[in-house]
Amino acid sequence: MHELSAIILTGGTSERMGADKAFLEIDGTPLVVRVAAALQRAGAVETIAVGGDLERLHALGIDARADNHPGEGPLGGLLTGLAAIGTDIAFVTACDHPALDPRLLRALAEQADRPGALVVVPVADDTRQVLAALFHTGCAEVLAARFAAGERSIRSALDALDPGAVVDVEGLPEGWFVDLDTPTDVRNYALRDGRSRD
């Protein structure tokens, strides 16, 4: 497998949740710690968090970096992360993915050698899961140009890349892409997760 870094975006406002999602506890563990542990198990050589409450993140042992574009959406956080990592490829995710599976990174890494590939992104529920994808630092210049032009969506910014630069990976378990945006999502996840252990 390629030597990978991992970037966790922790700078969101968490408005729908009503509390900072990074520190929301699932089974007694803050979400950001849960996600970081999954990335470590997957073999990430470094994991950084971008944005959010840096002091609290550091207190949890997370290598957290200030977002160079605070309040400017996930594309700004992605660009900050790509500029900070020490490898050529990073798995990028959000802090609210409680079911992140190390096998996801391995499945995506298998596609990273395709000629011209700069982004390897899973597709679930007919949607590109751009916050659970691999990004090569070689895409940063094009994405930065889109950011400078006013784009803030990662998914939309990918349209500026050359054909073939974005590799879609289908057929992965949809449960790997659960995200928690509201208190109802948390309750539903806890119920489902509880049943899965029975």
pLDDT in tens, 137-181: 999 999 999 999 999 999 999 999 998 999 999 999 988 898 887
Q: pTM for the whole thing?
A: 0.91
Q: What's the CA gap between 94 and 57, in Å, rounded?
A: 14
| pLDDT of 2 | 72
- The owner of tokens 């990004």 is 135
Task: Return the percent helix, strand and coil in the chain, to nearest 5.
Answer: 40, 20, 40
Instruction: Work out the average pLDDT over 117-141.
Output: 95
| pLDDT of 157 | 96
- Is residue 195's pLDDT more than 50? no
Interacting residues of 150 by C-beta distance below 8 A, sequence separation 6+? none
Instruction: Work out the average pLDDT over 182-188.
Output: 80
CB 22 within 8 A of CB 95: yes
Q: Percent of the chain beyond pLDDT 70? A: 91
CB 9 within 8 A of CB 51: yes
Q: pLDDT-based confidence at 191, cuts 50/70/90?
A: low
Interacting residues of 119 by C-beta distance below 8 A, sequence separation 6+? 133, 134, 135, 136, 139, 158, 161, 165, 166, 167
pLDDT in tens, 53-108: 999 999 999 999 999 999 888 999 999 999 999 999 999 999 888 889 999 998 99
Rounded to 5°, the CA angle 4-152-17 comes to 85
pLDDT in tens, 3-16: 899 999 998 655 66
- Where do the structural domains in the chain lie, given as residue ranges? 4-196
CATH of domain 4-196: 3.90.550.10
CB 109 within 8 A of CB 1: yes
Q: pLDDT-based confidence at 196, cuts 50/70/90?
A: very low
| pLDDT of 188 | 77
Q: pLDDT-based confidence at 198, cuts 50/70/90?
A: very low
Q: What's the CA gap between 158 and 155, in Å, rounded?
A: 6
Q: What's the CA gap between 60 and 63, in Å, rounded?
A: 9
Closest-CA residue to 32 (of 20, 42, 41, 43): 20
pLDDT in tens, 24-64: 888 888 999 999 999 999 999 999 999 999 999 999 999 99
How far out from the chain centre does Cα 43 lie? 15
- Is residue 187's pLDDT more than 90? no
